[in-house]
Amino acid sequence: MDKANAALADYLLDHGSTLHLVAHRVAPEFAANPRVNVHIVPRPAGSFAMAEFLIGWRGQAVAKAVTGNRGDVRVVVNGGNCIWPGVNWVHCVHDSWPCFDDGAPAWFKLKNRAVKLWSRQRERASIRTARVVVANSEKTRRELIDRVGVDPQRVHTVYLGSDSSWRPATLTERQQARTWLGQADRRPLVAFVGALSHDQNKGFDTLCTAWRRLCDLPEWDANLVVVGDGNAVGHWRRRIEQSRLTDRIKLLGFTDRVLDVLAAADLLVSPARYEAYGLNAHEAICRGVPALVSRGAGIAERYRSELKEMTLTDPNDVTELRARLLDWRSGIDRWREAFAPLGCALRTYTWACMAEQIVRAAECHSAHVN
């Protein structure tokens, strides 16, 4: 979401706009730009719920101050983070996103459900108020219409864009990346990129169980690298140690070198239980890396028929995931070639293309209203 918002801001600045950014943090290049007015909202005691309230309040105040009676000002908000009758760019639909926290501490479950309830209420109020709603996939668009009750005429699907520099890795880049990760050339490498939270939405629990069963097979020679941080990292580190899989699963934690991780990888796995789009898989495919994803993820809409075998019917099904991974291992080169056309198409559709579509949707609506 941060990357997408930054891409829209970049596009608007390139086209001469003056921006007001209301956020918890802003990249230095935006803060240093004389045409950017930064409004930083703190997170009191690290509380996301309190931060959500504050960013909504501050967003409304800034929007009211800069719009006035002017007709050339556009306000863009995300989901339920600010209630304003402008453009709402929705990156997820809380009403379609249940809590997946079985086995989590009781305090976390209580907090998780309270935050989810509050998020759904805010989401409905904000999205129903918007004049233009932008969805990041057809899946998200359907959920906004069917579950949130948005008029279909107001919802526009605009897929996330790509950084054109995220191309398939060269042989040198691949070798350097694998050396950095301590990965032997003879072993295939599978990557997981996602949060490791007490809420198991990203499906790492399914992957970890499937991986343990695969490692019992003498023919399974792949290693797994896990990129992501969260409040359950310690739990998973202990689980991996207890399963004696520390030589087969590497927990990398947070890193800003995802580009290098994908250069080293032969496959990305994302068995998410809810995924409005799936930028991790999108970026992997741009890097020339096949992606095994949940069939219900937004990115799966962009898979052609011959790629459907790289989707999971049930992200909870360990047996299905294990079978898909074995199928991939038996045809690594075949799958890399099969994903190449999609990677080319995704790279062609840049972040600027995405931003242009959002601006067009906003301006067309404005012209219609005027």
For residue 21, is it within any domain?
A: yes
In a domain, 92, yes or no: yes
Q: Please write the tens of the pLDDT for every residue from 254-296.
A: 999 999 999 999 999 999 999 999 999 999 999 999 999 999 9
- Asked if residue 342 is part of any domain, the answer here is yes
b vs e for 98-118, b when ≥16 Cβ sit within 10 Å of the residue's Cβ? ebbbeebeeebbebbeebbee
Q: Is residue 304 part of a domain?
A: yes
Q: 321: alpha, beta or left, given left = phi > 0 and alpha = psi -120 to 50?
A: alpha
The kind and range of the H/E element at 39 are strand 36-40
| Cβ–Cβ under 8 Å, residues 227 and 193 | yes
Residue 181's CATH number? 3.40.50.2000
- List own/partner pairs for 32-39 with CB under 8 A and 24 or more apart: 36/9
User: Which tokens sit at 76?
Assistant: 């863009």
* Best CA proximity match to 220, nearest among 185, 244, 248, 182: 248
Into how many domains does the chain fold?
A: 2
CA 245 to chain CA centroid, nearest Å = 28
* Residues 66 and 209 reside in one and the same domain: no
Is-contact 358 351, C-beta < 8 A?
no
Does 32 share its domain with 104?
Answer: yes
- Residue 47 confidence (pLDDT) above 80: no
> Same domain for 268 and 355?
no
The answer on 141 and 175 residing in a single domain is no
Q: Is residue 166 in some structural domain? A: no
36 with 139, same domain: the answer is yes
74 & 97 share domain: yes
3-state secondary structure of 12: helix
How many other β-carbons are positioned within 10 Å of the β-carbon of residue 232? 23
Domain assignment of residue 42, yes or no: yes
Whether residue 54 is found in the same domain as residue 191:
no
Integer angstrom CA distances of residue 119 from 94, 114, 256, 347: 7, 9, 28, 33
What pLDDT, on the 0 to 100 scale, is given for residue 71?
A: 72
Q: What percent of the chain has pLDDT over 70?
A: 98
196 and 321 assigned to the same domain:
yes
Instruction: Identify the domain containing residue 329 by its residue range.
Output: 171-348
Statement to judge: residues 29 and 14 lie in one domain: yes
* Domain match, 343 and 354 both: no
366: confidence class by pLDDT, cuts 50, 70, 90: low
Question: Do residue 199 and residue 153 come from a single domain?
Answer: no
In-domain check, residue 270: yes
- The pLDDT mean for the chain works out to 94
- What confidence score (pLDDT) does residue 1 get? 85
Judge whether 247 and 221 are in contact, CB under 8 Å.
no
Report the alpha-carbon distance of residue 370 to residue 367 in Å, rounded.
5
pLDDT at 165: 87
pLDDT recorded at residue 370? 43
Q: What is the pLDDT of residue 31?
A: 94
pLDDT for the residue numbered 53: 84
**Alpha carbon distance 148, 128 (integer Å):** 8
Instruction: Write the CA distances from 218 to 38, 221, 266, integer angstroms.
Output: 56, 8, 20
Q: Is residue 355 part of a domain?
A: yes
Q: Domain check: are 326 and 208 in the same one? A: yes
Six-digit token string for 291: 């992606």
